[in-house]
């Protein structure tokens, strides 16, 4: 060891010693629940197993498409709980299926994180959509409501164009809207129903992404909603499950294609989440609805609010190395 190294070593050890000595004489400052140090402490722990309602749920069926406001219990979308911190300040987001489910939770969270938000939904879902628009405005952000059927390619192109025009650009595309119907056998699925599911769940994201790409700059995000059904399909959700497996593959392929352009592509894979998909006519069997989510280790279905922060994270700058990823939220069951 030369003289310079010895000198550096003495300074380093001396510095550590001084720091330790200072630590031993610093007073212990109690943290008051109302003091300034309270901000540095996380909120009280919550038991995830008992945080939200558990089955059995009462049987309920609504005509398609079901409305969140008429569900019992009404899903939690984070209206009262989600607190923003400016993580998406100035961003401009388009969310399909933004009236309810994970789309609604994402829309609320995005607005409270500082983003302007356009939501798409079916005209029959207007009552739910109006509530979301008011929540976005209450967060001080611009809200754009664009109803329409995603099975129409021309509408998908117009949806993106209208969102870009009214928002002044586009940074985040969340392709969330989906069609789900149960059938005991593949032989029972009419071709028109199969076509409906495929067009809503696969064609629409394809059309939307194509239309959005010219507007997306480096740093933009595309986020899909996959499902545990894409990994572990239920026998009565054959067509829905195969579209969710395709969503996973779409995300991974596009991430490789768009990575060099600086555009990230990811997905969220929910497990059993309490949304209108479960109570719409043909969305779930009476027995499955009654015990919905009970098979998970947490013993209950998830609430859309519990996934909102994942959608935020996948759009935020600090997730810049996450692309081609599928983030699971399934209460301890399922994959990924």
Measured CA distances, 124 to 7, 202, 233 (Å): 76, 22, 29
- Per-residue tokens: 133: 């628009």
Among residues 52, 82, 231, 240, the one annotated as catalytic is 240
Q: Is 273 helix (H, G, I), strand (E, B) or coil?
A: strand
77 is catalytic: no
Q: Is 291 exposed, middle or buried (0-12, 13-18, 19+ CB in 10 A)?
A: middle
Q: Do residues 228 and 334 lie in contact, with contact meaning Cβ atoms separated by under 8 Å?
A: yes
- C-alpha–C-alpha distance, residues 99 and 46, integer Å: 28
> Residue 137: which region, alpha, beta or left (left: phi > 0; alpha: psi -120 to 50)?
alpha
Closest CA to 180 of 69, 75, 270: 270
First-residue to last-residue Cα distance in the chain: 52
Residues annotated catalytic, as ranges: 240
């Amino acid at each position: 060891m030369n003289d310079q190294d010895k000198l550096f070593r003495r300074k380093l050890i001396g510095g550590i010693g001084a720091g330790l000595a200072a630590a031993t004489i610093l007073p212990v400052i109690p943290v008051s629940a109302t003091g300034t140090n309270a901000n540095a402490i996380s909120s009280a722990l919550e038991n995830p197993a008992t945080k939200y309602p558990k089955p059995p749920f009462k049987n309920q069926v609504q005509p398609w498409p079901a409305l969140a406001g008429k569900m019992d219990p009404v899903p939690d979308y984070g209206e009262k709980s989600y607190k923003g911190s400016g993580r998406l300040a100035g961003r401009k987001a388009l969310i399909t299926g933004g009236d309810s489910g994970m789309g609604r939770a994402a829309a609320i969270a995005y607005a409270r994180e500082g983003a302007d938000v356009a939501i798409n939904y079916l005209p029959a879902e207007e009552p739910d959509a109006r509530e979301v628009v008011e929540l976005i405005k209450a967060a001080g952000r611009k809200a754009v409501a664009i109803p329409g059927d995603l099975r129409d390619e021309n509408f998908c192109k117009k949806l993106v164009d209208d969102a870009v025009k009214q928002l002044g650009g586009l940074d985040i595309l969340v392709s969330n809207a989906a069609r789900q119907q149960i059938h005991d056998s593949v032989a029972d699925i009419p071709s028109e129903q199969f076509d409906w599911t495929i067009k809503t769940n696969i064609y629409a994201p394809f059309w939307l992404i194509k239309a959005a790409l010219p507007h997306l700059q480096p740093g933009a995000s595309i986020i899909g909603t996959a499902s545990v059904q894409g990994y572990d399909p239920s026998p009565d959700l054959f067509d829905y499950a195969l579209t969710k497996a395709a969503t996973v593959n779409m995300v991974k392929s596009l991430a490789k294609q768009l990575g060099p352009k600086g555009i990230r592509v990811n997905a969220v894979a929910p497990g059993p989440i309490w949304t209108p998909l479960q109570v719409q006519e043909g969305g779930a069997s009476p027995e499955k609805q009654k015990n919905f989510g009970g098979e998970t280790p947490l013993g209950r279905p998830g609430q859309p609010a519990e996934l909102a922060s994942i959608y935020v994270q996948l759009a935020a700058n600090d997730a810049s190395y996450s692309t081609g990823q599928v983030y699971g939220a399934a209460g301890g069951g399922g994959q990924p």
